[in-house]
Structure 1
Amino acid sequence: MALTATPNSGDCADEVEVSLPRARRGEKLALAAITATFVSLVAFWAALAPMFDAPDENNHFNSAVRLIDGGAWPEPGEAQVADWILIASEQAGMPATERSTVSELRELHPGYSGIDQMTQHPPVYYAYIAAVLTAIDYDDMRVDEAVLAARLAGLIFVLPLPLAAWDSVRRLTRSPRAGLVAAASLLAVPQLAHIMGSVSNDSMAIGFSALVIWLGIRIMTGDTSWITTGGIGLALAFVLTSKGTALPLVAFVAVVVLFWPRVLSLRQRLWRTVAAMAIGGIGGAWWLRNLIVSGVIQPNSTLYDTLPWSEGTGPSVLEFSEYVWSGLSRSFWGNFGWLAHPMPEAVTSLLTVVCFAVIAGYAYRRSNARVPALVLTVTVLVLLVALLSRTWSGYARTHLPAGLQGRYFFVVIIALIALSAIAWRNLVPVAERTRACYLLLTGFALVAILGVYIEWRYIYDGFSDVLVRSPIGAWGFGFIGLAAAGFGVLAFALTVVQVRAANNALAAAEVVSRPSDELGPGVGDGDGDSATARTPTEPASVDAADACAGADDMTYPDSGTVVLDDAAVTSEGDTRTP
């Protein structure tokens, strides 16, 4: 297996380019099973949550319907919600067979009321949903069936997430098993599955932002392909046509393509930066238009009236901080419906504190991944500052902390997973990593199950109730549920097998690299056993490394040591066991 390396240069080390161990059949099967689990779990959430029982879902659906009806895309604050969509929300508690069709509700309730604030976003996602609804002739369907179809249309945006998490972490940590655990960690955020399984432009923003960050990580870890450069520009263009929360990714792409890969000359990187930003700029036309027309990148919502503060009072930083903590942490992990079905605060607070503590304490230790980790962190912080600035302005104007929702950080979910993986890898000793993987996988499964249970408990009165109210009936709901559970068990088993294989590979590498006098008489002692003997300075063979693919510890963070599968080779030529 080929190996190339760029030596470290102090604390600001260039990327170390290493030929990763080939993703073998077992690893690919485990990733496929994790992907199937996540996709089927999102589909299950789409069938589980009552129609329009997700943040702003009726408005998102309404905007797609307006495009079908030829209503164009009014200025923010001018669009209204169709009365029949508001009435349809009231039928969510009825048995599915008793609900009205779209055409029936249109005829009975032809008017409009309220404000649909979705026109503050670009119309691309809504045009996609409108095309899907038109293709299935939704007018003749029950409303809940049409909503479910629109929800399932978003599954296309779910597909990239497990791949992006797996490959990003695999490249940053040089660890195949860390990559699989990272992909599985998506299950530990039930709110992500809930939002991805609803009618929302969040799903498009999350899917394409995952591609942007993944391709950025590939570039930071040595990918010199023009396809990757063009791909990140194209992904940026699409994500910019979805939602304003993705705007911090513009700076991310510019910095990554300008400074990496370091094996390219500055002139080459400049040309690539111009190309990527030119492609991405196509999607930025909407925001440029807002600046020209409105003087702001994204106009404020007009849902809430300005409310003056009484004399002697004013916006409170302390009160706002409490809103920030409770609002962001709870609605990141799980606060379902219209933020009305929360997971236990003890659980969400514990998960938030642990993640923050581990990342802050261990993600930035001196290693080849430290500079990429800092870039990813700055990207997250830029999004945080932008969100807090916007919501503080709204809080000062209306007394309401509207917009403090953890789901807005799902556009950087791959960055957060990558930072967590780097941190946990630095924290957990090599000898304990297999056990840690088992515990994390078990924890992910438990949190995913808890999320489903919380939504079930808040919405339904027993198992028979959900079967009666499900838009796809008892058989359809049961099929999706069994598929999610079955794929989950398969993914858990296949991932455990790969983690165990990595552990065995490390043990094998330790044996073949141990000096003969430590192995005892008859093993490499010069009595005809030279084929199995290893001297302290002789690297383990590539064939042996390939035979136990999936070994961990691909880099030594403090020494510039490069690890080839199981064997760690320094520039001086000695071999150390991970």
Structure 2
Amino acid sequence: MIRSDRTFWLGLMVIVGLYLALGVAYAWRTPLWQAPDEPAHYNYARYIATEGQLPILEPGDYPAAYLEEIKARRFPHDMSIDSLQYEAHQPPAYYAMSAALLRLAGEAPIATQLRLMRLLSLLLGCCAVALLGVLTMRLFASRDLALSATMLAAMTPMFIADTAAANNDALAFAALTAVAVRLAAPASHRWTWPASALLGALVGLCVLSKFQAYVAVPLVAAILLWDVTVSHQLTWRQALQRSAVIVGLAGLLSAAWLARNVAVYGWADVLGLARHDAIVVGQLRTVDMIADAGWQRYLSAYARTTFQSFWGQFGWMAAPLPERVYQPLALVVTIAGVGLLAGRQRVWQTGSAAYKRGVALLAVSGALTTASFAWYNLQFVQFQGRYLFPAMPALSIALACGLVAACRRPGWALALLGLATVALIGTGMMRGDLPLFSIVLCVAVALGLLLMHHLPPRWHWLAPVLVAGALAALNVYSLIAIIPLLRA
């Protein structure tokens, strides 16, 4: 039982503590406003604190030229952030909590107010990290998997930096992961009336937190459908009854905000998204980039920038990690992917019904978040990996499982590394410039895989732990060498 597993809870506390320590360092060392859209998030909360009502998104709230200038000058004291109001359409939950903190802060300096908002985000991030561990333990009853996956997520540099900034991301991650935890409850009380009511409240919190968290709605629908058609835990009538409770409570919690939006933006724009699209004149749109650069360069930038910014690209995407950092990260992800593909059929065939349901939950969550990210980029060029963080449970669990699978059955991974090494040597000789770093990296990873393969199976879980440890070290490097570059 998860409640009696003291080792799991102790390990989870250590991971959350380490995440919190690094997050506090990011919150304090990151210069004011050097996180995406942070001034607009702050202005939203400040408006509630001073005016006692929600702001209205209006033309002029996105001064594109001024925003580019103030970013280029790194937010000097002689340039005000007051005109940056373009997040005013966002759901209000995080900003209401932040407004309460700002009222308590009174006339404190603006730096203190901003750091209070950052610390609020960080505490919500602690909840998200802890819930990720609980979710993994509930789904797969494996302490090793739960702790290694949680550590991988919690040590991802961009995840820490993002959840240590003043924005509504951490609340969305926590709310969405809480929904997944509720869906992963033991079968005996998964769909009781109280459980359905709690799930409805959590979905309502998702609606009030951030648009990216709205994937909770189709996620709940998909798992309900699974429990009717696959696991047969519910009849169609029971599913409809539970759905009514969930939708009713979620609607009740969000009704006031939605009604206010109807009054302000109209029935056709209940979420304010059309108003947002209309006022962000000057933001680079996908059709314009494709027209200028072509599909090939667009897709290349999409993949490259998304990958890099998922792991670490700080400030307003202006401070990436060194290029050589991304190479081993890409290799680790590739090895994990090969490991998953090599073992997928055997594991699926031998897995229990509960295991398959857990995989389905994670797969649907990951697919919905990825689709949401792709849909957003159909309109605007937003190659920011942080938009994939709502799927962090699925991504970190897949990474941990893939690394362990590659250690247990390294054949395909070793073959890939061998081919890559030969290709690097061949192309290097043709160009007269051997890529020694990449060659040594492939050889080192291959030797590491062979070494791990010959260890007892329990020790294979050391692979994701070592990767998480390397990510922790990368955070220290980022705080010392990258974050200071953001200062004016």
2:210 is matched with: 243
Change (3 A) 1:26 1:349: closer
Aligned residues between the structures: 418
Query: More helix per residue: 1 or 2?
Result: 2
Alignment of 1:41-440 (within 5 A): 41-70=22-51, 72-79=54-61, 114-137=83-106, 139=107, 141-218=108-185, 223-260=190-227, 262-282=232-252, 285=255, 289=262, 292-294=267-269, 298-299=273-274, 300-301=276-277, 302-305=279-282, 313=291, 316-343=294-321, 344-362=325-343, 365-366=348-349, 367-368=351-352, 369-394=355-380, 401=381, 403-423=382-402, 429=408, 432-440=456-464
In structure 2, the CA distance between the partners of 1:459 and 1:162, relative to structure 1 (3 Å rule), is closer
Give the aligned partner of residue 545 of structure 1.
none
Residues 295-331 of structure 1, C-alpha deviation per residue, up to 9 Å, x if partnerless? Answer: 7772344334388989x95673322211221121111
Amino acid at match of 1:41: L
Alpha-carbon distance change, 332 to 227 in structure 1, aligned in 2, over 3 angstroms: farther
Mark the structure with the bigger radius of gyration.
1
Contact 2:91 2:208 in 1 (8 A): yes
Deviations 1:535-570 (A, max 9, x none): xxxxxxxxxxxxxxxxxxxxxxxxxxxxxxxxxxxx
Letter in 2 for 1:270: L
| 3-state SS of paired residue (1:247) | helix
CA contact (8 A) 2:362 2:394 kept: yes
Tell me the TM-score normalized by structure 2: 0.74
CA shift, 1:195, in A, is: 0.7
How far did residue 194 of structure 1 move? 0.4
Post-superposition CA distance 1:57-92 (Å, at most 9, x none): 1111122112223274112545379x9xx9899798
Contact preservation (8 Å) 1:259, 1:269? no
Matched residue of 1:253: which SS? helix
Distance 1:392 1:408, change over 3 A: same
Query: What amino acid is aligned across from residue 368 of structure 2 in structure 1?
Result: V
CA contact (8 A) 1:59 1:118 kept: yes
1:510 is aligned to: none
Shift of 1:359: 4.3
Q: Give, in angstroms, the shift of residue 443 of structure 1.
A: 1.9
2:57 alignment partner AA: E
**Structure 2 regions of 5+ residues with no counterpart?**
409-452
Give unpaired runs (5+ residues) of structure 1.
1-19, 94-104, 395-400, 470-578
Cα deviation for residue 132 of structure 1 reads 0.4
Aligned residue in 2 for 1:450: 474
Deviations 1:255-308 (Å, cap 9, x if unpaired)? 223543744444333322221222223455556846724377723443343889
3-state SS of 2:88 partner: helix
Decide whether aligned partners of structure 1 residues 228 and 192 sit closer, same or farther in structure 2, where only a CA change above 3 A counts. Answer: farther
Report the residue type matching 2:248 in the other structure.
A
How far has the Cα of 1:204 moved from its partner?
1.3
Displacement after TM superposition at 1:30 (Å): 2.0
Cα–Cα, structure 1 residues 69 and 79, in superposed 2: closer, same or farther, change >3 Å?
Answer: farther
Q: Which residue of 1 aligns with 2:434?
A: none
Q: Distance in 2 between matches of 1:357 and 1:222?
A: 37
